Amino acid sequence: MDRFIERQKRKGVKVTETDRVSFHEDFPRLNMTMQMSMIDWQLAILKIAYEFAYLHIGPSYLNDAVAVRLRTLLREAPVDQKRLQAANISGTIQFVSNTEKQVNPLKSFCSPDTLLVAFVPSGGVGYVYVNIFNLFEGRIVAVETVEPTISSWIYFRDLKREIEFTGNLGEFFATHRP
């Protein structure tokens, strides 16, 4: 702005301080239209569950029946609701409902600033729980048969508190508070 005023003065244009206008709005408004594909975010949850199970279990996971169905579904685009249901993946993928915190202790760690992915073996199968910014969540049976040596595992990241944890779920509960 100062350069502009100097140039104007050199050209002979009279510029006064009252000609300078400064404007700042603390809460600017932004109007926009958002369109969201219900299938795409469900596929994102499935992809995260698939990759997390692979990272935790290793290459042997690729032979699991659920892994094969997930991989086939994720590779063959486009995916519609019919193909998603035909893949026969057990679990739920939904918008977050804050009424289940007592049922799922992991949800008490979730907020609009957190990412949480946990692998939990239970009843011979392996579940992956995914919570993205406490907006989207999924609890998927990602492994049909879990070896007894496979333990629970978690990745947790709190962007606001700058906390990141990867490790055993029991250790996470012992060292972190919601």
Task: Tell whether the model's pLDDT for residue 143 goes beyond 80.
Answer: yes
- pTM of the entire structure? 0.75
- pLDDT (tens digit, 9 = 90+) per residue, 86-101? 888 888 887 876 665 5
Q: Give me the pLDDT at residue 147, please.
A: 86
Report how far residue 79's alpha carbon sits from residue 72's, in angstroms, rounded to the nearest whole number: 11
Q: Quick one: average pLDDT of 14-26?
A: 60
Q: Say yes or no to pLDDT of 141 above 60.
A: yes
| pLDDT confidence of residue 114 | 94
pLDDT of the residue at 92: 80
For 128, other C-beta atoms within 10 Å of its C-beta total: 25
pLDDT given at position 164: 95
Q: What is the pLDDT of residue 55?
A: 94
**pLDDT recorded at residue 104:** 78
pLDDT of residue 16: 64
Does 39 score more than 80 pLDDT? no
| pLDDT reported for residue 100 | 54
pLDDT of 119 > 70? The answer is yes
